[in-house]
Amino acid sequence: MIQDKNQQRTSLSELGEFKLIEHLTKNFKIKHKSTVKGIGDDAAVLEFESKRIVMTTDLLVEGVHFDLSYVPLKHLGYKSVVVNLSDVYAMNAEATQITVSIAVSNRFPLEALEELYSGIQTAAKIYNVDVVGGDTTSSNSGLLISITAIGTLNKDEVIYRDGAKPNDLLVVSGDLGGAYMGLQILEREKEVYKVNPNNQPDLDNYTYIIERQLKPEARKDIIKLLKDLEVKPTSMIDISDGLSSEILHLCTQSNVGCDLYENKIPLDPQVISTCEEFNIDSTTIALNGGEDYELLMTISQEDFPKIKANPNLTVIGFITEKSAGKHLVTRAETKIALQAQGWKNFNE
């Protein structure tokens, strides 16, 4: 599953913890002046002068957040970085450093971890962040990855979840539902493989949605776009748990209501066709699928002329008074209460 039997397998016990860290991180280069000291001492040393600092951590657990039967380790390393950077960009900050910690069982050889760290290094290079530390330890339950991301911004640039005001526009970047439908394809092919290991899946019709699942991108470009357009959202959050959940988070934090229009939700044609194939409602998937890592924001109506012609941003509704409630306005123009049915870490 992890390595071809004919490939070299170097046991992690041959290196020990410190030599393992040194081996996996030897090619990481420092790019930011704020990184005074990176990997190699008891702690990293960072200097940010007058900047505000944002920091976020995500934990990915094998069997809960990923399945190595169809997730390549290089993609997993890349995605584990991206999901953290997405939270930094949701604060309107520039990501600058990350730390990487892993717990790994003895079924993983060194070569497998090299693949994982290759993905981490690729993401760090593309998103221009320094890897400044972390930890490795053993695990009795597969692979765990914990990444902490640090970002900086000026005091007046930070955007929270609690700034939405009645009459603000509800805006989303990109399109939704692709990551969830990509997961459905991968799960289906896994079951087919179990029945017939010689079967080779034909995934040509699903390339976009599979990439949305295996190799998502954080929307650093949207943060730059908003600054270029001179638009500062009144609130913002990234879409990791599903559109409905994130809208409700914004409304709760901002003490407001909302009207979300079903016919305005952006869907890629591949999402629509795959939903039809699985006989699943595409709106349900967009609302509850999760892992899209797009940015959901509210902006003042005064800024609408600045964004209305931009293909990267879609107005999907508007903010109302709290007393008006939180609603999905269907294509039939019926209002139904918006409910959070996206990803939950724990059964309630």
What residues are paired with 101 via a beta bridge?
135, 146
| Beta carbons of 167 and 304 less than 8 angstroms apart | no
Cβ atoms within 10 Å of 252's Cβ, excluding its own? 14
- Cα angle: 297, vertex 165, 256; to 5 degrees: 95
Query: Is residue 7 domain-resident?
Result: no
Provide the 8-state DSSP code for 53.
E
Query: Is residue 264 domain-resident?
Result: yes
- CATH number of the domain at 16, please: 3.30.1330.10
Same domain, residue pair 197 and 237: yes
Q: Give me the average pLDDT of each 10-residue run along the chain (348 residues).
A: 58 69 74 71 69 89 94 97 96 94 92 96 97 89 93 91 97 98 95 85 92 97 97 96 94 97 98 97 94 98 96 98 97 94 50
Which residue, 157, 179, 201, sits at the end of a domain? 157
Q: What sign does the CA torsion over 138, 140, 143, 148 have?
A: negative
Torsion of CA 120, 123, 129, 134, to 10 degrees: -10
d(Cα 238, Cα 234) in Å, to the nearest integer?
14
Query: Is residue 2 domain-resident?
Result: no
Query: Is residue 342 domain-resident?
Result: no
Same domain, residue pair 79 and 209: no
pTM above 0.85, yes or no: yes
Same domain, residue pair 131 and 40: yes
Same domain, residue pair 91 and 148: yes
Would you state the pLDDT for residue 267? 98
d(Cα 330, Cα 183) in Å, to the nearest integer?
26
d(Cα 65, Cα 209) in Å, to the nearest integer?
17
Would you state the pLDDT for residue 172? 98
d(Cα 276, Cα 290) in Å, to the nearest integer?
19
Same domain, residue pair 39 and 85: yes
Angle between helices 269-278 and 207-214 (to 10 degrees): 100
Would you state the pLDDT for residue 24? 73
| Side-chain half-sphere exposure of 232, counting CA atoms within 13 A | 9
Query: Is residue 347 domain-resident?
Result: no
Same domain, residue pair 271 and 135: no
For the chain, the straight-line distance linking the first and the last C-alpha, in angstroms and rounded, comes to: 33
Same domain, residue pair 138 and 175: no
Query: Is residue 296 domain-resident?
Result: yes
Same domain, residue pair 122 and 213: no
Locus of tokens 């393992």: 20
- Separation in Å, CA 326 to CA 98, 161, 168, 188: 36, 16, 14, 35
Query: Is residue 286 domain-resident?
Result: yes
| Beta carbons of 104 and 135 less than 8 angstroms apart | no
Would you state the pLDDT for residue 194? 87
The domain in which residue 279 lies consists of: 169-337
Which residue, 157, 192, 225, sits at the end of a domain? 157
Supply 6's token pair: 């004919």
Across the beta sheet with 144-153, the strand order is 52-61, 144-153, 94-104, 130-138
- Separation in Å, CA 156 to CA 50, 96, 197, 274: 12, 18, 56, 43
d(Cα 174, Cα 66) in Å, to the nearest integer?
24
Would you state the pLDDT for residue 346? 38
Same domain, residue pair 112 and 175: no
d(Cα 152, Cα 48) in Å, to the nearest integer?
8
Residues 6 or more apart whose CB falls under 8 angstroms from that of 299 comprise 168, 169, 171, 231, 233, 234, 307
Would you state the pLDDT for residue 342? 57
What's the total number of domains in the chain? Answer: 2
Supply 65's token pair: 């957040």
Query: Is residue 345 domain-resident?
Result: no
Would you state the pLDDT for residue 213? 97
